[in-house]
Structure 1
Amino acid sequence: MLAFISALIVFLGIAFFMTGNSTTTKTTSTKKVPTVGILQLQTHPALDAIHRGIIAGLKTGGYTPGKNIKIDYQNAQGDQSNLKTMSQKFINENADETIAIATPSAQALANAAGKDTPVILAGITDPVGGGLIKSNQHPGGNVTGTSGESPLKSHLDLLRQLVPKAKKIGIIYTTSDHGGEYNAKKFAKICKQEGVAYKLYTISSTNDMQQVAETMASQVDAVYAPQDNGVASAMKTLISVTNKAKVPVIPAVDTMVKDGGLATLSVNQFELGKLSGEMAAKVLKGKSPATYPIKLITKGEMTLNLTEAKKLGITFPASVIKEAKQKGEIFK
């Protein structure tokens, strides 16, 4: 009898141990891997750089795609209806967090998410004016992230330095791009304060660029192309027109210089994305977007296009070249 009881105790002990082991194994194997939806407005170099930065930032924050996080990346290719459908897809599939590349993407995600799913902004111009947050310091809801405010006064100073004889500046933006309109009108306000003549031009889509650019090039001495997704996507069309008229274009972003702009002081788009990715990682770990201030990068890096300068007969001052070599980029 004693032997039987001893055997029973040993059996029950082994069974408990195995059951406990099984439960532990099951818990470990079913540990939830967070899903992050990334919504990009369209394909162009600046937005692509932000996307690469987001992935790098998530890795810095401890999340590696394919290892301990699932990334659902969607590109709307400039279609507003796609933005709505893709945003709703993230919410329907219970994404733990969403990340927006470009203002229209952010607005679509914020509308779909309501007050629940966190939305991380990646380089969004004027998130307050875009109706996304209450204030940069106190977002107040489920939205936070980074804002890439262009150094507009520095852009005007650079334009006047490189094109000192310019009497009138053309400023072009896309009517459906809140960030582009914000930048264009703010730049126009600075021009007015500085006593510089200007004229605003608009496109409703990239299809309008050829015609609008031809009109603008015949009326101005230089063009400012703000941080605007539509203008950036049609940059090569704009440059093909302005080059024929020998009208230099100062854009807001380094990738737009690569596409034919003369020069700029550009906020690094990759670094903007990386900062957003790092913030996204912290929110995944429990930080509240409502009390997580918007982070800004406003200091630009000098970027020059030597080929474009040669086409236009413009010589860069030695100080400008030196700055680009030390901390910036020179396209040849």
Structure 2
Amino acid sequence: MAESSDFSPGRGRGLVLACALVALAAFPASALEVRIYDVAIVVDIVRPKFQEIIDGFKSVVDARLERDGARAEYRIYDTKTNPATVPAILDALRARKPDLVFVVNSPDAFADRNVSLKLTDPSYRIVSENCIPVQSGVAKEWTRPGGNITGVGVFVQMTSLIKLAKLINPGYRKLVLYGWDRMKDINAWFLADLTAACRAEGIELAEVKWVASAEDEFELYLRLDKLGPECFGIEAISAWVHRDGSYADMSAELPGFIRKNVKRFATFAYDEAAMREIAPAGTCVEWKDLGAQLGEKALRVLGGAKPGDISWDYPRKYNIVLNVAAAKSLGLTVPPSIISAAYRVYTDFDGNFVGRKD
């Protein structure tokens, strides 16, 4: 990808936000058994960011096991978020009785709802990537999940995103939260977290709107673009269905619509994919480090800790990511101090950036 010398991301990162939550999980003090550990990986569709999570998980687990003269063997089970795949996956896991089940969920926690919740015997030990563990029923609470499961969420705490928006535009006073109405549990999480974040940051949560289709979302953007300059937005999950029930590829349809029609209203993002296409700024999770964080929990479990006694955590590390082309198109000027603190700065809508490449 082309680079430019106009920006120097990475300098003074700590001046803007605490971008790394460094509560590292402790490894078990004693050495693990010298043997082959059987690790089952249940994933809701193997996609690039999920593969990064898996790679980070395996790198931490493999390094520790190798140090102790042991190793792991992995087998991946892809649910494809299709209920028809679940019986065969459950049969395979019950036949294998793996030492550990590692779960990588779609946003609605399909794998945990359909697989983890059916593996209730304490002999199954589960570590899960799931942003809504309580809402999906796999954990009693974040501080002590209970049962045979622990994990890490996938969304950053929204306070960081609101802080970043205020640093870019100190005039922001009102937030609009919106998303797809089918994602009820995720929407509930966003609403609760953003309500607390707005209260802490002195921002009014002016409107909450859940839409039923891509067309409804496009119409919402047109209305939001007429709001005053004190308003900005955060979207939970886009509506990936058209009014006629057909699939809406919002990764392709939404960016084109926004760049053509939205001239003032800024949406701040938690996912770097949005940064490449439409959002001026965001605090984005590092997927591989999220996997490493989950791997550290897995090592604690393999070392004898009870999963249900290990707290469910937020991702410990996230980065400021900017798109100066998106900011300019919305009439925003990103302060140099934020540019210098950014992990990565996109300079156009074609994926070109300066900053870290790993």
Q: What percentage of aligned pairs have identical amino acids? A: 16
Q: Scaled by the length of structure 2, what TM-score is found?
A: 0.69
Q: Distance in 1 between matches of 2:137 and 2:64?
A: 28
What is the Cα deviation at residue 217 of structure 1? 0.5
- Indicate the residue corresponding to 1:22 in structure 2: none
Q: Scaled by the length of structure 1, what TM-score is found?
A: 0.73
CA gap 1:180/1:165 in 2 versus in 1, 3 angstroms: closer
The partner residue of 2:218 within 214, 218, 224 is 214
**Could you say what the CA RMSD is over the residues aligned between the two structures, in angstroms?**
3.2
2:152 alignment partner, SS class: strand
Cα deviation, 1:250-276, whole Å, max 9, x if unaligned, reads 111234323432211223222111111
Q: Distance in 2 between matches of 1:217 and 1:144?
A: 38
- Indicate the residue corresponding to 1:254 in structure 2: 272
The structure with the greater share of residues assigned to helix is: 1
2:115 alignment partner, SS class: helix
The partner residue of 2:235 within 203, 225, 235 is 225
> Structure 2: any 5+ residue segments left out of the alignment?
1-33, 226-231, 241-248, 347-352, 354-358
CA gap 1:128/1:329 in 2 versus in 1, 3 angstroms: same
CA gap 1:143/1:254 in 2 versus in 1, 3 angstroms: same
- Indicate the residue corresponding to 2:165 in structure 1: 159
What is the Cα deviation at residue 113 of structure 1? 0.8
| Contact 2:156–2:314 under 8 Å retained in 1 | no
- Indicate the residue corresponding to 1:241 in structure 2: 257
CA gap 1:81/1:202 in 2 versus in 1, 3 angstroms: farther
- Indicate the residue corresponding to 1:9 in structure 2: none
- Indicate the residue corresponding to 1:330 in structure 2: 345
CA gap 1:235/1:223 in 2 versus in 1, 3 angstroms: farther
- Indicate the residue corresponding to 1:128 in structure 2: 134
2:103 alignment partner, SS class: strand
Q: Distance in 2 between matches of 1:160 and 1:215?
A: 26
Residue type at the aligned position of 2:43: Q
1:61 aligns with 2:61: no
> Structure 1: any 5+ residue segments left out of the alignment?
1-30
Greater relative contact order (Cα < 8 A, sep 6+): 2
The number of aligned residues is: 289
CA gap 1:314/1:42 in 2 versus in 1, 3 angstroms: farther
CA gap 1:48/1:112 in 2 versus in 1, 3 angstroms: same
Cα deviation, 1:86-125, whole Å, max 9, x if unaligned, reads 6414423324121111233222232221233111112x22
What is the Cα deviation at residue 230 of structure 1? 7.0
Alignment of 1:34-49 (within 5 A): 34-49=37-52
1:53 alignment partner, SS class: helix
Q: Distance in 2 between matches of 1:44 and 1:199?
A: 33
CA gap 1:257/1:245 in 2 versus in 1, 3 angstroms: same
| Contact 1:152–1:187 under 8 Å retained in 2 | yes
1:312 aligns with 2:327: no
